[in-house]
Amino acid sequence: MKQKAFFTDLDGTLLTDDKEITPGNRSAIDRALALGHKVIVTTGRPLDSAIQQAQRLGLTGEGCYVIAFNGAVIYDMGAQQVVFRQTVPLPLVRKVHEEAARRSIHIQTYDSTHVLVEPRCDDNEIRQYCRTIHTQFRVVPDMDAVTQEPPKMLLINYRSSEELESFRQWLLSWGAGQLDTFFSSPYLLEVVSAGMNKGNALVRLAEQLGIPVEDTVSAGDSGNDLSMIQAAGVGVAMCNGTEEIRSAGDYITQRDNNHDAVEEIIEKFVL
């Protein structure tokens, strides 16, 4: 039997709309692990939130990993240490924050333990975001007070995606070659260093695990999952995913994230 590696997104994929793991998904993951396959939580969420989800799934032993911040951080759960990290240079962080402030768009960044926001972004967006992923935030005076380069920035507008799309176009022009940007939902715009994405992280970790890329399976639903859908041996698009993701997938699930889609994927492509 070939050992396979299954890279799964969290929100809209492994997790239900209520941010729970269905019994069917949990059982399928347990069966895959028992047979020696790898299951890697692969998310845009910050590391602490990704680790919480891995712990809920029992992915804590030797050889268990999580990919966080859209591929900018890879964490070894067994060794309890970061094995890869790529951050955004602080001058770029400050410039992006300045432009977001000029446009009155919520923006946040991260240190090793907290989401960081300036006083103007101490708002409903940060509270809703932190409630959803079970993490904490801290208000800093301004970005000059931030001394640790972050893995990513995140712009939020829960009311409309039009302003975020306009900002994305500015980033694609101004930040070309330095920053990459993509949506993880219609209301969440991710900003990372150039080349940091889930697909490159999948290839990097598969090589470290000694698993050929053709023996990898990935699953996702949103724009930040596109690179790993394209990179994996089998890229699976959620039926509840975006049109872009469904068009790119080698397979589209019959079930959605609320009805054991990950179980369907594991049974069909991993076991």
What gap in Å lies between CA 180 and CA 190, rounded to an integer?
Answer: 8
Tens of pLDDT, residue by residue over 141-184, are: 999 999 999 999 999 999 888 999 999 999 999 999 999 999 99
| Portion of the chain with pLDDT greater than 90, in percent | 92
Quote the pLDDT of residue 160: 85
| Portion of the chain with pLDDT greater than 70, in percent | 100
Burial of 8 from C-beta contacts in 10 A (0-12 / 13-18 / 19+):
buried
Which of 98, 156, 161 lies closest to 126, judged by CA? 156
- Residue 246: is its pLDDT beyond 90? yes
Residue with tokens 């969420």: 45
> Which tokens go with 262?
């990950």
Tens of pLDDT, residue by residue over 150-162, are: 999 999 999 888 9
Task: Report helix, strand or coil for 62.
Answer: coil
What gap in Å lies between CA 44 and CA 50, rounded to an integer?
Answer: 9
Mean per-residue pLDDT, 109-123: 94
What are the distances in angstroms from CA 22 to CA 45, 99, 261?
20, 41, 9
CB 256 within 8 A of CB 12: no
25's enclosing H/E stretch is: helix 23-34
Quote the pLDDT of residue 270: 96
Tens of pLDDT, residue by residue over 12-47, are: 999 999 999 999 999 999 999 999 999 999 999 999
Q: What is the reported pTM?
A: 0.93
What are the distances in angstroms from CA 199 to CA 136, 171, 192, 203, 234?
28, 21, 14, 6, 12
- Total residue length of the chain: 271
CATH number of 5-85+196-270: 3.40.50.1000
CA 247, chain centre distance (Å): 20
* CATH architecture assigned to 90-193: 2-Layer Sandwich (3.30)
> Which tokens go with 66?
């999580």
- Residue 61: is its pLDDT beyond 90? no
* Mean per-residue pLDDT of the chain: 95
Q: In the chain, what are the domain boundaries?
A: 5-85+196-270, 90-193
* CA angle in degrees (0–180, nearest 5) for 131-10-154: 55
Quote the pLDDT of residue 89: 97
